[in-house]
Amino acid sequence: MAHDMTQIVTQPAARSLWGEIFYRSSLMLAGFFVLLALGNLAYKASEGDPWIPVFPLVVALVIWLSGRSLRYMLNARID
């Protein structure tokens, strides 16, 4: 009977752990794309042609939103 109780207690924690892992890894990947965009902006500004690279910022936003939605779905309780 104790085995059943430990399984019930650890299952939501494992679900929450995977949600956090996906969310934090998506944050790191999105942050990398933002850093690339900022580096490109600084490089172009030093050449006298400043423009904001929109595509890497959109990719970073999509990655962040997908990680956030994965965290929400994996942490959702299904009753």
Mean pLDDT of 25-40: 96
pLDDT band at residue 65 under the 50/70/90 scheme: very high
Domain of residue 37: give its range: 2-75
Cα–Cα distance between 12 and 38 in angstroms, integer? 39
Tokens representing residue 13 in the block: 């924690």
Residue 33, classified by CB atoms within 10 Å of its CB into exposed (0-12), middle (13-18) or buried (19+), is: buried
Burial class (CB in 10 A: 0-12, 13-18, 19+), 46: exposed
pLDDT in tens, 36-48: 999 999 999 999 9
In total, how many domains does the chain have? 1
Instruction: Please indicate whether residue 36 or residue 8 has the higher confidence score (pLDDT).
Output: 36
Mean pLDDT calculated for residue range 46-51: 90
Q: Does pLDDT of 12 surpass 80? A: no
